[in-house]
Amino acid sequence: MILLQLYLAFVKMGFFSIGGGYVMLSLIEKEIINVRGWLTSAEFVDVLAISEMTPGPIAINSATFIGYRVAGVLGSAAATIGVITPSLLLVLLAATLLKRFYQNTWVQAVFSGLRPAVIGLIAGAAIFITRTTLINVPSVIIALGAFILLIFTRLHPILVLTLSALAGISYQYIF
């Protein structure tokens, strides 16, 4: 039964995460933490960190890790298949319909409404992650340092992640 619940939960999230994996973060938070109680906020943030560091889309990586955490290897498969099912169906449908109707004023109106909503969903996910992650002064300093390095230098994000990890280790073992 848990495998079907995982599959259906991620199918639902997949259908309503227009805009990509970061948009899905708000949906995952609501469904996985608040509604189903499968993970705590701290566990979810850890899943996000791992999902960010591993190759592949964050939505699929998150589904895979969450499914594994909830029901092992089969749960991982159920959640992953669930999250890609809507994308597969929608891309097939969109490929056939959008080509014909993209210039239609109704279609353009839908997209003009969806674009700002996507920004709102991403901002909501960013606020959730911020509240859960920035729990002490060192975490705020590391976050600000990473932000400054990414915005004002040409350092590669992998290097910034590595430096942030080293800062976390240094804080943990030095202080």
- What pLDDT score was predicted for residue 19? 61
Residue 62 and residue 94 in one domain: yes
Residue 54 and residue 79 in one domain: yes
Q: Kindly indicate the confidence band of residue 174, based on its pLDDT and cuts at 50, 70 and 90.
A: confident
- Helices and strands in the chain, H and E counts: 7, 0
Residue 98 and residue 160 in one domain: no
Residue 69 and residue 124 in one domain: yes
Q: Kindly indicate the confidence band of residue 135, based on its pLDDT and cuts at 50, 70 and 90.
A: confident
**pLDDT above 80 for 99:** no
**pLDDT above 80 for 23:** no
Q: Kindly indicate the confidence band of residue 20, based on its pLDDT and cuts at 50, 70 and 90.
A: low
The Cα–Cα gap between 65 and 21 comes to 14
Q: How many domains does the chain have?
A: 2
Residue 143 and residue 124 in one domain: no
DSSP state of 56: S
Reported pTM: 0.62
Measured between its terminal Cα atoms, the distance across the chain in Å is 47
Residue 175 and residue 97 in one domain: no
Q: Which segment of 21-25, 65-69, 125-129 scores lowest on mean pLDDT?
A: 21-25
- What pLDDT score was predicted for residue 149? 96
Q: Which domain covers residue 175, as residue numbers?
A: 135-175
Residue 129 and residue 168 in one domain: no
Residue 74 and residue 55 in one domain: yes
Question: Tens digits of per-residue pLDDT, 28-68?
Answer: 888 899 999 999 988 988 888 888 888 888 888 999 999 99
